[in-house]
Structure 1
Amino acid sequence: MPNDEDRTTEDGAPTAAQESLRRSAAFLIDEALGFVFPAALRAAAETGVADALADGPATAAELAAATGTDARNLYRVLRLLATRDVVAEDEHGRFTLTETGQALRSDVPYSARSAVRMLTDRTFWLPAERMVHCLTEGTTAFDAVFGKPFFDHFAGDAETAAVFHVGMAAMSDPENAAIAAACELPDSGTVVDVGGGHGGLLLEVLRRNPGLEGVLYDRAHVLAGNRLDGDKEITGRWTTAEGDFFSAVPTGDVLLLKRITHDWDDDECVTLLGHCRRALRPGGRLLVLDAVVPRDNAPHQAKSLDLMMMISLTGRERTEADFAELFDRAGLRLSRILSTPTVLSVVEAVPV
């Protein structure tokens, strides 16, 4: 017997069921082409097109001359970027960098250019193509592509590591002031930024809280690029500490973990959180600054980031219940969650 989807109406027109399936197919095909847009965005970031547009409108030919690219192909890339309001083309074929696209420039505060380059780097791009490996094998795809775990790969490739750390700083910079404002901190004491990278968050925390001192804790090669040195506003109120947070964590009144727990599996997180609990002074608090995945069908950046963690690392983005379970295993209690204007929340824990 034919299905309803196989039939047509008496006049040969598609049935409602067929039209529904046609729309479904069109949607899925369009979504499958979606990977081309971040590729175009990366191409623009790599060639510096946004910087070339900083002085005003220009044609593709003028931009190609300024960036050393092929004019016809550059036009095709810009035409696609215009569909997402990164640039806009006028009736004379001149392109303008829109308000939405301004952060693609390298010379503006909160430039996203390095973050775009990191998120579209082959270290994320290639494992994404192997996502089915995660489903069939239950493990990250990164090792299968690069032959070693994510952070081991970076440890042996200084150029790729630089792309990652600079990109992470660029991804974090627009968030740091808002997150620092959302954290309820004491008037005095020591804040330890565990795995704090180049120190962008700690810098904002110390600027907002003049009674606090800070410790930036990370690997030596990461600390070498820290941004705390030379900021007169926090002179004398910070130090760096080198180490591995899976071995120990410096003592403090408040410990910060920004975008750290999502990198690691549950057992590794429990080890890290246990070190944090032991490092807290009496009355101290741990602030995990990470996305909290909502339990609904609405779009949320955490759901995309979660798949990035799946394909390249052992970690994942977590729900409120997931955090509560992790804390409980580490001798901590989830005390509250504070929202911020960013995709991240302040997930506060205290010792049991």
Structure 2
Amino acid sequence: MATAPDARQDDRAAPRFPSPLYDLMYGHIHASVLRAVVLHGIPDLLADGPLTAGELAARSGTRVEPLRRVLRLLAARGLFREFPAPPASPESRVSPASPVSHESDDEQRGESVFGLTESGAALRSDVPGSQRAPVLMFTDEMFHRSAAALPGTLRSGEPGFDAAFGVPFFDYLADAPVKSGLFDAAMTSRPGTSNADIAESCPFPASGTVVDVGGGRGGLLREVLVRFPGLTGVLFDRPGTVAGHLLDDEALTGRWRAEDGDFFTAVPRGGDVYLLKNVLHDWPDEDCVRILGVLRAAVEPGTRLLVVDAVLPEDGSAHPAFAVDIIMLMLVRGRERTAGEFRDLLARSGFRLDHVVPTPSLSSVVVAEAV
């Protein structure tokens, strides 16, 4: 019995690591820290290898101590690596070439060396699949103000974005070219939607024309045309979006064209396969039926439609798209859907769902046919 108090004391002294509750509660802090280092270009500064916090601060115009503390948190989250600083030589401490520091001794103590992990390297702006644009978009005021308005959304059912900005999301983008450009760039490279994975998973014919409706800047269409040299393509989206297309490639010369317009009104005719990537999840059911109805009016029976969107599990098991579904709730009137919900939308619009193809990315391919 004499050991019980000591055992209880040991229990009280044991470290308690954050629970899922704490991860959720501090989530906005992690997002803000991530945004700060990306805006200051820290990942790009580490492209050639690790640097001390002092070197990073001098090159980015930041202060050593706050930067070190921010990077320490991101190192704990697996995006950076932190190393002990090597001892400075007497010469380096008094080198005339060294910049004069206006930091206090307090701010310079405990300096560490930081490098990028494999995950953190995706934050660089100069790497294939860079996640810089998605980070800046998902941490933008468009998102955090919409998220802050969620309590009102639960009462009204209206997107928090409308309450925060006074206009619907896509109307706002139409009048905000900088934010619209950020949105388009982020959609081209956002995590979990690898165009290569999707193109490889989609059942494309050996020849014919692929019409990418609401195809953004054409990242997916470009991947499809590169992989399937017998196909030609049509990129269809808003004028400002298709103007920034990614299809200028010698290998694709003569195999594509871009058209602008409104998919609520009309879409290009004559395609053999139609793509809708990350379109239907932006809209409520009635608008989806309108989009699909316009598309059905443009195609012949038997034409294949490939809907690329997250497909939620019917049984409610864990899936990263549940978080994306909340983004839809915050920003627009859309939603992520189950296979059964896609089947119903398609049936109401003159299409028949054939099957669903999972991909290694967040999205699946809902394969349908015009009836």
Q: TM-score, normalised by structure 1?
A: 0.90
- Cα contact 1:110–1:174 (8 A) shared by 2: no
Q: Is it true that 1:238 corresponds to 2:256 in the alignment?
A: yes
What residue number does 1:54 align with? Answer: 47
Tell me: CA distance 1:311–1:168, structure 2 relative to 1, closer, same or farther (3 Å).
same
Tell me: CA distance 1:282–1:210, structure 2 relative to 1, closer, same or farther (3 Å).
farther
Deviations 1:79-102 (A, max 9, x none): 110111100101221001011111
What residue number does 2:172 align with? Answer: 153
Question: Which stretch of structure 1 is more off in the superposition, 197-206 or 164-173?
Answer: 164-173
- Cα contact 1:112–1:170 (8 A) shared by 2: yes
CA distance in 2, matches of 1:173, 1:26: 25
What residue number does 1:36 align with? Answer: 29
What residue number does 1:189 align with? Answer: 208
Tell me: CA distance 1:233–1:249, structure 2 relative to 1, closer, same or farther (3 Å).
same
What residue number does 1:5 align with? Answer: none
User: Which structure 1 segments of 5+ residues have no match?
Assistant: 1-10
The alpha-carbon deviation at position 212 of structure 1 amounts to 1.1
CA distance in 2, matches of 1:324, 1:180: 22
What residue number does 1:164 align with? Answer: 183
2:225 is aligned with what amino acid?
L
Deviations 1:4-55 (A, max 9, x none): xxxxxxx999x9xxx9xxx999652443112211111111111110010111
Deviations 1:189-217 (A, max 9, x none): 11000011111110111111111110000
CA distance in 1, matches of 2:78, 2:322: 23
Q: Is it true that 1:219 corresponds to 2:238 in the alignment?
A: yes
Deviations 1:299-349 (A, max 9, x none): 422110000000110100111111011111112111000011101001011
CA distance in 2, matches of 1:234, 1:156: 32
SS in 1 for 2:296: helix
Rg larger for: 2
What residue number does 2:129 align with? Answer: 110
The alpha-carbon deviation at position 296 of structure 1 amounts to 4.3
SS in 1 for 2:286: helix
The alpha-carbon deviation at position 77 of structure 1 amounts to 1.0
- Cα contact 1:127–1:142 (8 A) shared by 2: yes
1:330 is aligned with what amino acid?
S
SS in 1 for 2:356: strand
1:81 is aligned with what amino acid?
L
Alpha carbon RMSD of aligned pairs, Å?
A: 2.2
Question: Which stretch of structure 1 is more off in the superposition, 167-176 or 218-227?
Answer: 167-176
User: Which structure 2 segments of 5+ residues have no match?
Assistant: 86-111
Which of 90, 100, 114 matches 1:95? 114
CA distance in 1, matches of 2:370, 2:326: 31
What residue number does 1:332 align with? Answer: 351
Identity %: 49
- Cα contact 1:142–1:311 (8 A) shared by 2: yes
SS in 2 for 1:85: coil
Which of 148, 155, 168 matches 1:136? 155
CA distance in 2, matches of 1:31, 1:112: 22
What residue number does 1:7 align with? Answer: none
The alpha-carbon deviation at position 173 of structure 1 amounts to 9.6
Query: Which aligned runs of 4 or more in structure 1 are off by greater than 4 angstroms?
Result: 23-27
Deviations 1:201-257 (A, max 9, x none): 10111111111110000111111100112x011110111111000001112110000
CA distance in 1, matches of 2:39, 2:320: 24
1:67 is aligned with what amino acid?
S
What residue number does 1:295 align with? Answer: 314
The alpha-carbon deviation at position 126 of structure 1 amounts to 0.8
Deviations 1:160-205 (A, max 9, x none): 1111111212217961111111111112211000011111110111
1:45 is aligned with what amino acid?
V
The alpha-carbon deviation at position 283 of structure 1 amounts to 2.6
SS in 2 for 1:280: coil
What residue number does 2:337 align with? Answer: 318
SS in 2 for 1:185: coil
- Cα contact 2:272–2:304 (8 A) shared by 1: yes
1:228 is aligned with what amino acid?
L
2:78 is aligned with what amino acid?
D
The alpha-carbon deviation at position 76 of structure 1 amounts to 1.3
- Cα contact 2:314–2:339 (8 A) shared by 1: no
Deviations 1:241-300 (A, max 9, x none): 110000011121100001111100000000001112222234311100000012345442
What residue number does 1:200 align with? Answer: 219
Q: Is it true that 1:65 corresponds to 2:83 in the alignment?
A: no
What residue number does 2:103 align with? Answer: none
What residue number does 2:101 align with? Answer: none
2:148 is aligned with what amino acid?
E
CA distance in 2, matches of 1:306, 1:174: 15
- Cα contact 2:296–2:351 (8 A) shared by 1: yes
CA distance in 1, matches of 2:354, 2:184: 31
1:41 is aligned with what amino acid?
L
